[in-house]
Every structure is written in C-alpha cells, then in structure tokens.
Chains A and B, each alone.
Chain A
Amino acid sequence: MERLGDRALRFARPHAAPARILAAVRAWPGVCDVVIGGHDVAIYFAGEPNDDYDTRIEELAALPIDPVAGRDHQIRVVYDGEDLAVIAAAARLAIADVIAAHAARTYEVASIGFLPGFAYLDGLDPRLELPRRETPRTRVPAGALAIAGTQTAVYPFASPGGWHLLGRVIDGPMFTPEHGARLVFGDRVRFVP
C-alpha cells in the first residue's frame, strides 16, 4: 500500500473480479471514491484515512475471482477509422479481416478511467495487438473505436489520444450524466458492424 497524497491510498489490484473489488471497497469506512486501474486500485477519502486499511486490503485477496454477471452489450459501429490501413499492415491482414477479427470477439470491462465512461476492454485478438501511437493525436473524436496494446476502447468524449482508430460508435453516447457510464465492471461487449 502506498500513499497517493494525504487523501488517497494506492495498492496493487487484487485478482478478484473488479465488480467485487469495487463493491467491497466502497463499503469501507471513510472511502468516498474508488478507481480501479489496470494494475492498481486507489481509494479516496474526504479526510485523513484513519483505519486499518492494510488488513482490509489483504482481505480482498479472498474475494472470488470468477466474474460478476453484468450486462451484455451489442454496440453498433462503423469500421471506417483513420488507422485501419496501419493496423492491417502491422497485423499483415486485409482490412476486411481486421474488421472481422475485431467484431468476432466478446470483450470484458477490465478497468475504467482516463475519461468519464472510458472502459478499457480485454479480449482483443492477439493479431491486432499494437503499441500506442508514437505521437498521440491532439484530438480524437467522441465515439471513436480504438485499439492499443492488448485492449480496445471507445472514446466517450473528444480528447487527445494515442490509440489507433478502427471506427466509430453510431448508436449513442458512452457516458451521460443521467445514466453514467454505458459500460461498467462485469459487462461484456460485442461490436456489431
């Protein structure tokens, strides 16, 4: 466990399903916010953290690893991203095969962060793995469907971004103030061309 300033603690992410970690940690005394990153969890406090969080964190290791059943999403997309050709060349595939490979998979929410509703999705076809762009774009449009490393994601809002653009979502926003994030921990996603 490490201090992230005097109002937050950071610790290595336990192996348990993220939805279980989130539910457990939010019930701890004094915790007002939680971020589950790819490798770490951070918990946030309104005041000084004053409890035996070491013991509580150790106890998270006992949580079940099997996923919590969330919702199944089918998200409508158009595969017309600017980086399709680059991705195809790197994967040594035809563009049509890149699209087929991406659309064939069912993805799971691995972590949420960066922007409101930005879900890092595991399950990418290993042939499509590609490091982030050398130089990030200064602006990626809202709804852009992208890949980087072993993951895929949708940019919920326009922002700078270093992921490779495959296409765009055409059936609605990824975050609304009324309903929060479209994808949450436990959810599974398919992209439908």
Chain B
Amino acid sequence: MSLVVVRVLGLVTVQDGGRPGHMHEGLSPGGALVRSALVAANRAAGNPDFAPAIEVLGRLIVRAEAPIEVATDRTPLRVLDGELVIESEPQRATYLAIRGGVAAPLVLGSASAQLSAEIGGLLVAGAQIDRGHAAHHARAPGSPTATAASSGLAPARGGAIRVLPGPDAQAFAADAVAALVSAPYRIAPASDRVGTRLVGPYIARSFAPDRSRPTVRGAIEVPRDGQPIVLGPEHPTTGGYPIVGTICSADLDRFFAIRIGGDVAFEVGHAATSRARS
C-alpha cells in the first residue's frame, strides 16, 4: 500500500525523532522540526510517537493507489481513497502519518532525511511513499488534538518564547538581550531546517572576533548584520557567529511552529523554571 506524490510546494521530507549521538562527527541530530506535531500525527495513526512520517513545510498533494489509513497532527485517522491536500498553514509544519509508519531506510538509526549530509532527500512529484511494517501497529489510534495535549511535548503555553541569555555575552553590546525582547521579529522566507532567519530589532555586537564554537538547536546566532538566526534541527555543529541566547527547550516546538511571515516575541526565561512554567 502506498501514496504517490502528486505535487509539492515547499520542503517535504520523511522525518522521525532524528539521530542523536553523532555530533562529534559533525552530524547534528536532525529529525522533525516540530516534534510535538510529529508525535500528534503518529498517535492519531496509532503509531509509536517517533515513527517516520511526512513533514510538510508548505503544501503536499498525495494520491492513494489503494485505500490506505492516514492521519495528520490535525485530522484523525481516516481511510484515504483518492487525493489528499495537506497544507502546513496556518503553521510552519504539519505531519502526515500512515498507520504502520512510513517506510524509509534507517541510516544511523533514523529514517529522517538530512539534506546537509545527503541522507535521504526531498519528496518530489511522482515519488512513492510506502507504508512501513506491521510492527508499528502496537496501539489504538487516538484523536490528534487529545493526544497532542497529553503528549507532554505539546505547545501548551501561549505568549512569548522564552530565551536563556548567553553564553556569548562578551561578544555583544550590553543591551543585546534587551533589544532581542524589545519587539517582535518576523520569520523570514529564507528560513529552512538549518536556520530560521528573523527580521526585527537590530542586535549590536561588540568587536569580538568570529570564532567557531559548538552550537545547539534553538541557539540564536547573530551575524554581522544584527539580524538573528535560530538554529534548526539540521544546524552545523559549530558556528562562527556569537550566540546571544538559546530558546528554552520547552518552547522550541512553539517557536518552530510559527509560520513563515509570522511574528515571534521573545522574553528572558530562567533555566530552573523553563520546564515548570508550562
């Protein structure tokens, strides 16, 4: 049983929980951009939380070759017979899960496409998406909204995205963090799974030289133009731009769910409370 890709607009790939454990070789963990949404789609389909699914950053039209059970993070399990249009709007990402998972070769323990390492690739028109193996049929399908809320990964909190300042404070002017939280930023169209580019208040750097240092998903790098870049799942493991702050892990999904062209407001968070306050 399989789906055929009819049309793609944007970035459509197979994603699961990613492949941590290889950063010392320069390979970042990758995986779904919005993990809670991947989990919601899989739970709706009755799959394990991080089973491979189709990540849609944009628009995807698929056609079922034969009746096949599918769900998304927004729609419950249904039998698809014919065409289905999936759009990430009004958010940045949505996930299409097939009951039984999406079949994709495991590379270093993950089915995720990682374009920077030429692992997997973009799904294009004509591509065939096969159902995974029956081992995935472990659980009963749920409703996507209920399962997302109970996953513990769901964006349960509204409001500003919390940022832990640092660690490169010495590379910035004293008011850099104040500038970051002073007004909302807009998510720029040049954003991808490597980095999310923001347009908004200028962040002033001091004259510290650029020097390659370890990075992390959610780090807010500031190039010389003062416009921040938030590192995504396929980020380089080291980077030359100083880091003004890092998004609290509990708020990463909410940040990456904001659509291209949408606005994001930041506030200063605190490490000890970043989990408790949700």
Give chain A's interface residues, CB within 8 Å of chain B: 2-8, 10, 22, 26, 32-42, 44, 46, 48, 111-118, 120, 156-157, 159, 175, 177, 180-181, 184-185
Q: Is B271 an interface residue (CB 8 A)?
A: yes
The 10 A-B residue pairs whose C-beta atoms are closest, nearest first, are A113-B238, A5-B246, A42-B214, A2-B167, A35-B214, A33-B23, A181-B25, A116-B27, A116-B117, A177-B107
Taking a contact as CB atoms under 8 Å apart, the answer to whether A116 and B25 are in contact is yes
**Highest count of chain B CB atoms <10 Å: which of A4, A7, A22:** A4
**Known A2-B167, A113-B238: A44·B249 in contact at CB below 8 Å:** no
Taking a contact as CB atoms under 8 Å apart, the answer to whether B213 and A40 are in contact is yes
Residue of B nearest to A136 (CB): B240
Residue of B nearest to A2 (CB): B167
Taking a contact as CB atoms under 8 Å apart, the answer to whether A117 and B26 are in contact is yes
**Known A48-B275, A116-B116: A39·B27 in contact at CB below 8 Å:** no
CB 8 Å contact bits of B109-123 with A (1 = contact, 0 = none) = 000000011110000
Q: Is B108 an interface residue (CB 8 A)?
A: yes
Taking a contact as CB atoms under 8 Å apart, the answer to whether B214 and A117 are in contact is no
Taking a contact as CB atoms under 8 Å apart, the answer to whether A184 and B25 are in contact is yes
Q: How many A-B residue pairs have CB under 8 A?
A: 129
Q: Is B88 an interface residue (CB 8 A)?
A: no
Q: Which of B168-194 contact A (CB under 8 A)?
A: none
Taking a contact as CB atoms under 8 Å apart, the answer to whether B167 and A113 are in contact is no
Taking a contact as CB atoms under 8 Å apart, the answer to whether A40 and B214 are in contact is yes
**Highest count of chain A CB atoms <10 Å: which of B24, B29, B246, B247:** B24
A175 CB contact (under 8 Å) in B117, B166, B212, B238: B117
How near does chain A come to B24, taking the closest CB pair, in angstroms? 5
Q: What residues of A have a CB within 8 angstroms of the CB of B215 in the complex? A: 35, 42
Residue of A nearest to B110 (CB): A177
Q: Is B22 an interface residue (CB 8 A)?
A: yes
Residue of A nearest to B238 (CB): A113
**Highest count of chain A CB atoms <10 Å: which of B107, B214, B219, B237:** B214
A8 CB contact (under 8 Å) in B21, B216, B238: B216
Taking a contact as CB atoms under 8 Å apart, the answer to whether A37 and B213 are in contact is yes
A122 and B17 CA atoms in complex are apart in Å by 35
Q: What residues of B have a CB within 8 angstroms of the CB of A181 in the complex? A: 25-26
**Known A5-B247, A10-B214, A42-B214: A34·B26 in contact at CB below 8 Å:** no
Taking a contact as CB atoms under 8 Å apart, the answer to whether B167 and A46 are in contact is no
Q: What residues of A have a CB within 8 angstroms of the CB of B218 in the complex? A: 5
